Amino acid sequence: MLCSVSSQSQAISKVLSGEKTEYVINDEFTIQFNLKVDPKTCKDGMEKTAIFSSGLKIINQSEWIELQKGLWQITMKCLVTGNRKNLGQLTVMRKTDKQDLFEQVKFNIRKDVDVSKQ
């Protein structure tokens, strides 16, 4: 998935493991975000990037890693917890004076199955 917000900022997300078209409560998956930001951005600046979740719990998260000047990566392991909308969401948001970045990934959750009760 690619979300280009301005000519200089991009976010790409990719599920590395556990990818499904529809999830159930207690499923786990690993997702990676690559963010292309201003080349002057430092690690402290990346730490200010906001990450929100709904219907999911982030159970493990790497630190931001600079792959090359202006290209940063973070990996997260998530647990599907569910919500009333039956839709999990991960949102990565970064807003500065010079650029805005927004990437949202949605995951369908089947509400009638809870694997913890099987």
**Tens digits of per-residue pLDDT, 64-97?**
999 999 899 999 999 999 999 999 999 998 887 7
pLDDT at 112: 67
Amino acid at 15: V
Q: Which CATH architecture has domain 2-110?
A: Sandwich (2.60)
| Chain mean pLDDT for the chain | 85
Give CA separation, 81 vs 23, 50, 65, 110, in Å.
Answer: 10, 20, 28, 11
3-state secondary structure of 45: helix
Q: 9 pLDDT band (50/70/90 cuts)? A: low
pLDDT at 74: 95
- What pTM value is reported for the model? 0.80
Q: Parse the chain into domains and list their residue ranges.
A: 2-110
